[in-house]
């Protein structure tokens, strides 16, 4: 049954959430039209602005250490963590 139908029948958001096995905040966002079922919100990737720079640096020096490149992009404004940076670079964690 649809959450909107349950709401029209007078169900509380908490009762709908329990019935559907979802979080109350999720149900509230769906009923307010802030969220669409089955679609996750797209988060912005903090690494994207530095991708071209990293590609160029690695093309110039394929043996560049990840820690050195990380220090460079941090100086340029990258705010992510080192483990995230390494996985973006393709080395894993």
51-71 per-position pLDDT tens digit:
899 999 999 999 999 899 999
Is the pLDDT at 93 greater than 60? The verdict is: no
- pTM of the model as a whole: 0.50
Sequence-ordered list of residues with C-beta below 8 angstroms from that of 10, at least 6 positions apart, any chain: none
DSSP assignment of 16-54 equals HHHHHT--HHHHHHHHTTS--TT-PPPPPPTTGGGHHHH
Domain boundary assignment for the chain: 1-40, 48-89
Summarised one tens digit per residue, pLDDT across range 28-53 is: 999 998 877 777 766 677 888 998 99
- Tell me the C-alpha distance between 54 and 61, whole Å: 10
């Amino acid at each position: 049954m649809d959450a909107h139908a349950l709401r029209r029948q007078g169900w509380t958001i908490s009762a709908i959430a329990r019935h559907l096995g979802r979080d109350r905040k999720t149900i509230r966002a769906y009923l307010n039209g802030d969220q669409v079922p089955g679609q996750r919100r797209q988060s912005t990737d903090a690494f994207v602005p530095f991708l071209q720079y990293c590609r160029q640096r690695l093309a110039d020096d394929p043996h560049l250490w990840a820690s050195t490149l990380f220090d460079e992009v941090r100086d340029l404004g990258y705010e992510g963590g080192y483990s995230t940076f390494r996985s973006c670079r393709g080395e894993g964690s």
